[in-house]
Amino acid sequence: MHKTVLERRVDDPLAVPPKDQDPTGQSGAGKVSYTDVDPYYRIEAARPTSKPAPVIRLAVWAITLALTAIAVLGLRAGVAEAVRIDGASMEPTLHNGQVVVINKLDRTPERGDLITLRSPLDGEPILKRVVGLGGDIVEIRDAILFVNGVQVKEPYVDHKSVEGLYYGPVTVTAGSVLVMGDARANSIDSRSHGDVPLQEVTGTAVTRLWPLGPIPYSA
């Protein structure tokens, strides 16, 4: 009959000694060996290390390389541009120092899109979220966004940080968009500078270049 040898250090607090063994483990030498499987003892089987399957790792690398190649080709062709996020106005979606790729040919955004435009303060490119299109009636009631009287779900907005905030209602000018930062308490946007004419939109964000990956909460 096959026997399994179990070893227990006398200083192991998790081991429970047999009835005839001193709980201090001092009846023998520095460690005690037992044969057979004893139900009073905790048996720790070797757990295999969980590793991603080679196929999964290969797929991840392939997707990463493909996204990088598309971004590089787009940048070289002049139809895309890399934009660095400056500040915290788009948290938690995008953070300071991250880099996104924008499609410079897409200048007709939809609600929820992330677009770039020139800052009315210094002319530098900034990124904001479109919350209203031409003709829309936009308002914020106690931190909650409503468009045309319908509440908009915004999982990326920390509503507690802007509790008690009211804005509007305002009607977005035809041929314009109304934009806001996801960090409503820390964003200079259409609430202070008005809606943005479409000709001032410089592109629509399509992916995150650094760190590489999709943009969270993107439309």
pLDDT of residue 35: 41
pLDDT of residue 30: 45
The candidate with the shortest Cα–Cα distance to 203, out of 75, 76, 94, 92, is 75
Q: What is the DSSP secondary structure assignment for residue 162, as one 8-state letter?
A: G
Q: What is the mean pLDDT of the chain?
A: 79
The candidate with the shortest Cα–Cα distance to 15, out of 2, 1, 33, 29, is 33
Three-state DSSP at 171 gives strand
d(CA 94, CA 67): 18
The per-residue pLDDT for range 27-84, each reduced to its tens digit, is 444 444 434 444 433 433 344 445 556 777 777 666 666 666 666 665 555 788 899 9
pLDDT of residue 71: 60
Reading the block at residue 80, the tokens are 């895309």
Name residues whose C-beta falls within 8 Å of residue 153's C-beta, 6 or more positions apart in sequence.
none
- The residue ranking higher by pLDDT, 199 or 28, is 199
Mean pLDDT, residues 7-14: 46
Task: Report pTM.
Answer: 0.66
Three-state DSSP at 89 gives coil
Least confident of 47-56, 92-101, 137-146: 47-56
Mean pLDDT, residues 105-114: 93
pLDDT of residue 107: 87
Is the pLDDT confidence value at 95 over 70? yes
Q: What is the DSSP string of 177-203?
A: EEEE-SSGGG--SHHHH--EEGGGEEE
Count CB atoms within 10 A of the CB of residue 38. 14
d(CA 49, CA 100): 35
d(CA 213, CA 168): 35
Least confident of 12-21, 87-96, 141-150, 179-188: 12-21
Least confident of 138-147, 172-181, 207-216: 207-216
Is the pLDDT confidence value at 86 over 80? yes
Give me the residue spans of the domains in the chain: 81-210
Catalytic residues: 89, 128
pLDDT of residue 75: 57
Partners of 115 in the β-ladder:
128, 204
Q: Which CATH number fits domain 81-210: 2.102.10.10, 3.20.20.110, 2.10.109.10, 3.30.450.20?
A: 2.10.109.10
Least confident of 65-79, 99-113, 126-140: 65-79
